[in-house]
Amino acid sequence: MSKIVSVGVSARHIHLSQEHVEKLFGQGYQLTEMKPLSQPGQFAANETVEVIGSKGTFPKVRILGPVRPSTQLEISQTDSFALGVKAPVRESGKTEGTPGITIKGPAGEVTIEEGVIVAARHIHFHTSDAEKWNIQDKQLLKVRFGGDRGVVFENVIARVSDSFALDMHIDTDEANAVLAKTGDTAEIID
């Protein structure tokens, strides 16, 4: 049985805590939804912020909602060089010991001490999909991309939950390397 998954390419984005939303946009401010994302309940917000590193800035970084317990900026390795930040490859939410960044919004700015990562490539599995394919949460997978620049990505993290929808997430550097775009498919081979 082939294990085909859809691919989503994640451009740089930021997840904010409610405290930081209010510092950046004003007391009591709530994010507004621009469009839903592949994962149920998650959305790209209308709002953007500027992120400021030691070497460069990105003026319009999209906020993804809903708010999270802590603020986290997800960038590509190329973005890391441009900002002057040595962001490690990490699973989302695992920000201990990562570099910080300054974030500027229309009502203020905040500097976080940690929270900048290059997101580890991963596949979200609904529990039923994982069971069907005998895949365990946190299992490391190999995934084949076809085409003119076909490659096998190793160390793809399986993330299994009843609240997830089946979708593989790679960053823009990885997508560019294999000429992939959102909506393409790839095959889990191991």
Q: What are phi and psi of 118, to 5 degrees?
A: -100, 115
Whole-angstrom CA distances from 167 to 60, 86, 124 are: 26, 28, 5
Q: How are beta strands 116-119 and 3-10 bridged, if at all?
A: unpaired
Kindly state the DSSP code that residue 121 receives in the 8-state scheme: P
Given a cut of 80, is residue 113 above it in pLDDT?
yes
Give pLDDT tens digits for 6-65. Answer: 999 999 999 999 999 999 999 999 999 999 999 999 999 999 999 999 999 999 999 999
Q: How confident is the model at residue 147 (pLDDT cuts 50, 70, 90)?
A: very high
Whole-angstrom CA distances from 67 to 50, 73, 84, 131, 172 are: 17, 13, 26, 30, 23
Q: What is the mean pLDDT of residues 173-190?
A: 96
Q: For the chain, what is the radius of gyration of the CA atoms?
A: 17
pTM: 0.93
Kindly state the DSSP code that residue 146 receives in the 8-state scheme: -
Q: How are beta strands 140-145 and 3-10 bridged, if at all?
A: unpaired
Q: Which helix (H) or strand (E) holds 96?
A: none
Whole-angstrom CA distances from 23 to 28, 39, 93 are: 9, 27, 21
Given a cut of 80, is residue 1 above it in pLDDT?
no
The whole-angstrom separation of Cα 74 and Cα 59 is 15
Given a cut of 80, is residue 86 above it in pLDDT?
yes
Query: Can you point out the beta strands (E) in 30-132?
Result: 33-36, 43-52, 57-65, 72-74, 89-90, 101-105, 108-112, 116-119, 122-126
**Omega before 40 cis (within 30°)?**
no
